[in-house]
Every structure is written in structure tokens, then in C-alpha cells.
Amino acid sequence: MLSDTDRLEALEAAQKLVASLSENSESSRSETNRVQALQTANNIIRSLEKPEDGLLKFAYSVMFQPTIWMAIRSCVHLNVFNIISEKQAASAREIAERSGADETLIRRLLRVLTSYGYVSEKGDGLYAANKWTNHMSNRLTQGMIKFIYDLAMPPITAGPNFFKETKFQNPIDPRNGTFQKAFKSDIPIFPWLALPENKEHWDDANTFFEGDRGSRPSWVTWFPVKDKLLGGTVDDRAPLLVDVAGGRGHDLLEFLEQFPSETGKFVLQDQRQVLDSATNLPDKVEKHAINFFLESPVAGAKIYFMKFIMHDYADPECLGILKNVTSSMKKGYSYLVINDFILPDTGCPLLPAEWDLMMMTLMSAMERTESQWRNLLNKAGLTIEGMYQPPGDGQGIIVATL
């Protein structure tokens, strides 16, 4: 039986949800409102659900969710999503013939995915694409699926035993964490990925990094770039923007697309093997290899941009990186722009909280709260100009100067 407290709680949340979605305005369609509506919908479920039922359901989901991931990962390996997306419908027999898999196995894998809504079922052994199928035939999505299933899930599984063995201490050693336990290694994840035998994992990781923001808006679309960063004089002899450890240049390309009239040099810096895979850059972008633990980026730039770099490391490693970056910055001219999660001290949304645990399991690292960011950047000798939260639940922007 539903208690009056729970009933009124659910009713209040439902009214709030209906009101937020009924208003025909720009704000009602915003990313912030979408994320808030999802949270409100979850609150309604929590109010109506009895704890004993909710926890049991969660336990079952933990037990069976990996089977869904297994089906998705297998279908990516067999190119099933692409085969289904090519035409109006595809049969299990056709998929089996084209993929080389057993038809019974195809049916069993797709039985789970049609039940979950990731593939549409049009008849006995007949399948069609929907928006989820089309999304999972995308190169960036498939890179994410491979990265998470192949590289993230084993350390997550190893986590509880690792914590028990280390007496539940917070992991901060990149050479001794759940990733190393899962893969029986004693080197950090990025050097491990750079080993020749792990080339496929390295490619998947870099593809994942291209699309790890999902549908959340790029910082250049909501942050006042021109007002905050591009005013005043610009030294044409030095780069306008250096993307430090910028992967294949996806964020740099978004900056150029948003500000096509901006002149000056643009520099992409990362490890050589990553830069070699960045093949779709315009001529105005220069590529320079860097080991940011040992080397400084190209000197004198207006903007040094670092997305999802600091969250890969504990404070000691971050301070070493920042020492090299700040040595290239020009006092009174250069900005350091960090695009990363800024966790609230209370009421943290689920996505950044989950990212924090992901960084712990993969890197023995962390997402940071505002106070942790201030402490880190102050130790690095930087002055924080401002911290800016994005619309929705994505990564924020921190602007710092010497």
C-alpha cells in the first residue's frame, strides 16, 4: 500500500514534470530542462517504489545488464547493427550468412536487444532498425561500446576484491589500481595502451574520446568565448589555441567551425601515434608530438585548452603536467581553459558521479569538486578567473591565468 507521504511526494514531482514539459518556450526545450526532467522522472519512480522491491530489481538488473552488454558487444563485433541499418528489414538467416555467425546465436542475441528496444522486431527472425540501431551502427558509438566493454568492465568487476585487499583505501597510484589487477599489469593504462599488442584497444580508446560527450553541447556553443578569451591583442607570431593532448582534434575542429573567421595558428598536440591517426584536419592546424610529463607545449599561445586531461590523474601527476603547461604561458596574455566536470559538493548528478568511479577504476584518478579544483590550481601557481557550469549535466569550463 502506498503511504500518504510517498503519494504526495510522487504527485508533487509529477506536477513539476508536467509543468516543465508543457510550457512551449525555448527554456522548456533546453538541455538543462531535459536533464532536470529526467531527474524528476526518476524521483517519481523512487517515491512509488518500495525499497525492498527497488533493491531487488536493482540486484536483478546488475545480474542481467551484463548480458545485454554482451549481446551489444557481440553484435558490434559481427557488424549486425550496420547490416540491419542498411535496409528496411533483415532476416536472421541473412545476418548469419553475412556475419559468419550461427543463426541460432543471432536470434538469441537479438531476442535480448529487441526486448530492450535497441532493435525493432518485424516478424519471426525479421529485424529492422530504429534510432537506437542506427546510433549503434555509428563509428563513434562502436568505439565507445568496445572501450567500455573491453577495457572498463573488467576493472569494474575487479574493484570489490581490490578494495578489500587494499583495506578500502582510495586508489591514487596509476601503477596499482583495479585496471592493473584486471589486466595483470604494473604499468598505467596509457603506456599499456601504447604497447604494440594493444593497438586495437588504443584505436578504440581514441575513437571513444572523439564521442565521449554524447549529445551534450560543445563548450564553444554555450561559453562566452569571444568575451572571455578572444578580446584584446593577439600575437600573430604565436598560436591562438593549443589543444594539449587533444586526441584526433575533434574539439579543435569544433572551435574552428564555431569561429571560422578567427585567424592565427592552431596547434594540436598529443602522442605521435595519436597524431598519425588524425587525418582530417585543415591546413591551418599544425600537429606537434608531446609527452606532457616531460615536455612543455608550444609556447606563447593565447589559449591552452585541456579537455578531460586532469581527471585522468591524481594531484601529483596533474601538478607535473601543469608545471609544463604554465612554463609555456605568457603572464597577462595566456589563458588555460580546462574542460572537465566540476562536481557539486552535494546533489551531484548521476553522470559525473559515474564518471568519477570510472576514472577511479581505469586510472586511479578522479573527477574533482570546485574546492578540489581550487586547491589543485592554486598549488600550480594559477589564478582562477572563473568556473562555469554547462547547461545540463556535462563538463564545465575553468579559466585560469598566471
Q: How far is CA 283 from the centre of its chain?
A: 28
C-beta of residue 184 within 8 angstroms of C-beta of residue 193: no
311 classed as catalytic? yes
Closest CA to 132 of 148, 116, 146, 144: 116
Residue owning grid cell 563509428:
139
Question: Pick the catalytic residue: 77, 201, 250, 311?
Answer: 311
C-beta of residue 322 within 8 angstroms of C-beta of residue 384: no
Residue owning grid cell 525493432:
120
- For 314, the grid coordinates are 591524481
Angle at 144 between CA 34 and CA 76, to 5 degrees: 115
Measured distance CA(158)–CA(163) in Å, rounded: 9
Measured distance CA(364)–CA(175) in Å, rounded: 8
Long-range contacts of 230-238 (CB under 8 A, 24+ apart): 230/259, 230/262, 230/302, 234/264, 234/302, 235/300, 235/302, 235/333, 236/263, 236/264, 237/300, 238/265, 238/298, 238/299, 238/300, 238/301, 238/302, 238/330
Q: Which residues are catalytic?
A: 311
